[in-house]
Structure 1
């Protein structure tokens, strides 16, 4: 029963956080800690966004459209959990917590035509959990994370940048309470910020020229996850959560780009992001379970950079879980309505309006108890 309940709360696998606020891609879940015994899992999702905008100022080719700027991408994660004894357990989690890929089509007449940007991260997290007889547990550990980025922005002096891979270390800390007789679990997890210093090379056709080497310093943001689940009827589970991410403290600002744009950042956000989820799961029989979830992120109404033009979201997801012996397979689909937003170019705002956009994600997770 516990195995089923844990499976259903991770509805839509990696798709649960697909195209979430800012660069968020996995939600940094620690649910694997609550699996029974020795357990391993692998999940894979493909996300297909449809994201396009139109200029709204005569200084930037008024009315021309960008075309779809967000290529389809994949997200993966893997995790392993085991008990040391009746009190202690541990887990290892490999994922891609933050990711972005923007590609403006060339030849559209849009002011950002030909611009491209990519941000990639990988993280390996090691967790240790202490389980108390009262139902409380505490857990924590370290996270090793790598980041790299590159961009080409023709409308800013034919600017190009490449930031080499850098590694940083952060930590995770949390507390949980479980009451198995009513399928209750509440967990609160803190993920620290992780500092990076990426060796960077920039070029442009301005007086800055290049290639110019420097070090770009930034931090991936701290976050807090509050998750819950509880049985509301035999075989029926209510679950959900709230995730806060400190995106207002994030800014990726290479030295030359800052000079060229009079203080602008390649990628930054004015507001923090709160993501809310609520779902219900139902066990149909010993083999099959189904679940559905709703997701919401508030629209902040801030101006965004042209490399990250989305503000808030609403989503709905469906999943089916198949249990056979020691194996369970979860398949899910999620539809996301991406929030409307307007962008700026340096001090010029609004520059473009992005509205009526969406994304769809498909995923599969395979878990096995050893």
Structure 2
């Protein structure tokens, strides 16, 4: 049982900070579904990225300045048993996001550009335990997204004709998830495979540019489908090996307002490649109250160009956490350092429009869980 407590605590490490993949800020984990009995948790993370670049074919040599402000993430989950075979969980997270603010006065072509992309999601999952240590689960996910952007360099005559601007109303839509798991509690082993469907949104958008002011359009955004393999197992007394392999179809994701595409010839935000993220970690129980865990995550840098509002390409990260257990309460604190992969951005047909190298982020998180 003590090894199992370590197991369910150590896997929380991945939720203490956001992912650097695409615009994904959580891995949409269903881990609360596997907690014992009735369970409630709250989580908070503060992420501080440092992302800057230099002009390539456009404004060569001009420094962009740091374009990514710090941000916060919140989440909660509730899990309960219906009977010996059925249990359920309600999970709230903020799975996708972006916040871009290019400083002015730099001479960089994108100076003064701002954008945000926000999301909130509530997932309801039902699990059925079979008698052979296998279980299956599935559920629905309701997701709301919103977006806006101001891009001053998309104009006929800078400072004279109006810059490009878009404001999109929020839109809610439903997706689904299905999964299966196998467990051996006596050695804290669990392997689970979870599929999350894509979710299609249509955002009512008002665009303004040299093509017209206050023009209504519809922006279609499809958040990507994903497949995640999570695993954990005790490998020695009080020692846990854990990790995951996660595939996300980022090639299907783009934000492409009509006027922007007509003016620039490419989407506002896009990613050419799908992504696979690998995570491997170890957890160690020190005593009845304290456990520690560490993990390494990796996502390949592909070299494909990106949009100017998402200038990242893969990452490597290291995370450390400490878990304090007292009675029915667990408090997990963690820190994660992310080395963001170098990226070249595209401006119309120009590649590289900007060159982004040697960027990073640091995140701090806390999660409080209670079994009752």
Q: TM-score, normalised by structure 2?
A: 0.96
Quote the residue 2:7 is aligned against: 5
Q: CA deviation at 1:234?
A: 0.7
| 1:13 and 1:364 in contact (8 A); partners too | no
- After superposition, where does 1:324-339 map in structure 2 within 5 Å? 324-339=326-341
Q: Deviations over 1:145-188 (max 9, x none)?
A: 00000000000111000110000000010000001122110000
Q: CA deviation at 1:251?
A: 1.4
State the alpha-carbon separation in 1 of the partners of residues 25 and 139 from structure 2.
Answer: 21
Q: CA deviation at 1:115?
A: 0.2
- After superposition, where does 1:25-64 map in structure 2 within 5 Å? 25-57=25-57, 60-64=58-62
Please say if 1:155 is aligned against 2:157.
Answer: no
**Matched residue count:** 363
| 1:44 and 1:364 in contact (8 A); partners too | yes
Quote the residue 1:140 is aligned against: 138
**SS, match of residue 259 in structure 1:** helix
**SS, match of residue 345 in structure 2:** strand
**SS, match of residue 6 in structure 1:** helix
Match of 1:227 among 209, 230, 239: 230
| 2:257 and 2:267 in contact (8 A); partners too | yes
State the alpha-carbon separation in 2 of the partners of residues 99 and 146 from structure 1.
Answer: 12
Q: CA deviation at 1:12?
A: 5.0
Match of 1:353 among 345, 352, 355: 355
Change over 3 Å in CA distance of 1:19–1:69 after alignment to 2: farther
* Structure 1 residue ranges, 4+ long, deviating more than 4 angstroms after superposition: none
| 1:44 and 1:74 in contact (8 A); partners too | yes
| 1:14 and 1:76 in contact (8 A); partners too | no
Change over 3 Å in CA distance of 1:171–1:12 after alignment to 2: closer
| 1:13 and 1:330 in contact (8 A); partners too | no
Quote the residue 1:200 is aligned against: 205
| 1:131 and 1:138 in contact (8 A); partners too | yes
**SS, match of residue 353 in structure 2:** strand
State the alpha-carbon separation in 2 of the partners of residues 324 and 355 from structure 1.
Answer: 44
Match of 2:259 among 249, 256, 259: 256
**SS, match of residue 351 in structure 2:** strand
Unpaired segments ≥5 residues, structure 1: none
| 1:12 and 1:318 in contact (8 A); partners too | no
**SS, match of residue 350 in structure 1:** coil
Quote the residue 2:250 is aligned against: 247
State the alpha-carbon separation in 2 of the partners of residues 298 and 283 from structure 1.
Answer: 32
Q: Deviations over 1:19-40 (max 9, x none)?
A: 4210111100000011000000
Query: Root-mean-square deviation (CA), in Å?
Result: 0.8
Q: CA deviation at 1:235?
A: 0.5
State the alpha-carbon separation in 2 of the partners of residues 19 and 327 from structure 1.
Answer: 26
Quote the residue 1:340 is aligned against: 342
**SS, match of residue 106 in structure 2:** coil
